[in-house]
Chain A
Amino acid sequence: SQTIHQWPATLVQPVGSPLSLECTVEGTSNPNLYWYRQAAGRGLQLLFYSVGIGQISSEVPQNLSASRPQDRQFILSSKKLLLSDSGFYLCAWSSGGALNEQFFGPGTRLTVL
């Protein structure tokens, strides 16, 4: 069966520090991968998605970037965190095609102080 992992689960970082959040998927190959940010009362906002290794699409301009160095690994990064980057970050995967549901990871709670 497929599983999706995210780490760390929680993170507290100072403003201006770098960020690296990791997401890995097991039990499937060539998944579509997604990064979302969940803000209270605003639902989930799609940040990045990837349909293959090295292929990243950004949905909103921001202080963050994403990379996909391996088929089942998706990384969310920042060179210098801002206060506004605080939030709950969710990784998700799907097997491609609009008829397939997305499966979500446990999330990372990021607090920027």
Chain B
Amino acid sequence: EAGVAQSPRYKIIEKRQSVAFWCNPISGHATLYWYQQILGQGPKLLIQFQNNGVVDDSQLPKDRFSAERLKGVDSTLKIQPAKLEDSAVYLCASSLVQGGPTNEKLFFGSGTQLSVL
């Protein structure tokens, strides 16, 4: 079974530039998550999709971050303009279960490491 695919693996940009990350979840997984992991911390949820609808984006800095999941499959996370504090690993995860939350297993990608100079 193919895992969660993310690209690019690394990205270096200057502040005020824009950047985009791509995620392709496991086939058939309805739920997709974007997490931000700053160095020395645990991942923090940015946004969750159920199919192509947003379930939770309460911690997404909407003035600079945007995300979409067209056709309920792959997803793109964008930052425009980037700030120094956006330097982090951006992890994508997916899970199979639809409907209410359960203890279902999340499958994570290997993330994109962003450095903002």
A binds B: no
